Amino acid sequence: PELTMFTDGKSVKDHLDAEELQRLEAGLKERGLALGAVAKMKPWILASFVALPACELSRKAAGASFLDKQIAEDAVAADKPVAGLETLVEQLEAMADLPVDFHFKALIETIELGDEMEDVIETMTELYLAGDIGMTMPLLKVVAPTAAGEDESAYAAFETRIVRDRNLVMAEGSKQHLEKGNAFIAVGALHLPGEEGLVELIRSQGYTVTRIDG
């Protein structure tokens, strides 16, 4: 539970000032959530509630599955085995390794985006479809820039712990499936590009990785 909830007697209210708390409360209220009901949750869990645009919330309310789940459901329906390249605990541990203040800052920035979040999601989608996924991280830095004089080490830590470190875990986890053959592997777009991305890591295992257009 310590990976998802504050278990030390503290809550969200101990990490935000009055103005930030008011913004968070308003943002949660717009999404049908009461601050009191989620105050013990870690910021990366709260972020999952506020990061989705209205259109995606409507899809979820209508019973639509998010992409990861839909892929798994389709595989099960086709009687194909499903396995994860990392565990949920490993994902949460990666999030917990970053400073909690970094997570709260990102949470407030996400709320402040408001309706612009839909534009961000749309832009990321277009970058993905155009094959320009390497521009996703620069886009996010433009959307939430570091203020003058502000320490950028937290963002560097994010790229290292949330992206690169997990790339290594996923690459290792993919080996057994690739060796068996006929494997379909789906990961978040941030894990694909770069010399330390999954594409290059899988190539380093001796495989040929080719982009398929269309």
Report pLDDT digits (tens) over 85-112.
Answer: 999 999 999 999 998 988 998 888 888 8
* Per-residue pLDDT, 214: 62
> Pseudo-torsion of CA 88, 94, 97, 103, nearest 10°?
-90
Q: Quote the CA–CA distance of 23 and 164 in Å, as a whole number.
A: 32
Residue 5 DSSP one-character state = B
Q: Token match 């479809």: residue? A: 129
Rounded CA-CA distance 81/29 in Å is: 40
Residue 148's pLDDT is 52
**Separation between Cα atoms, residue 86 and residue 173, nearest integer Å:** 7
Locate tokens 């209508």: which residue?
62
pLDDT at 150: 60
In which residue ranges of the chain is pLDDT below 70? 145-152, 214
C-alpha 103/C-alpha 43 separation (Å) is: 6
- 179, 82, 171, 164: CA torsion to nearest 10: 170
> Rounded to whole angstroms, how far apart are CA atoms 214 and 211?
10
Q: Which residue has the tokens 């030390």?
A: 8
Q: What is the DSSP letter of 203?
A: H
**Whether 96 contacts 167, CB under 8 Å:** no
Rounded CA-CA distance 214/121 in Å is: 21
Contact partners, residue 74, CB within 8 Å, separation at least 6: none
Distance (Å, whole) CA 75 – CA 69: 10
The pLDDT assigned to 60 comes to 80
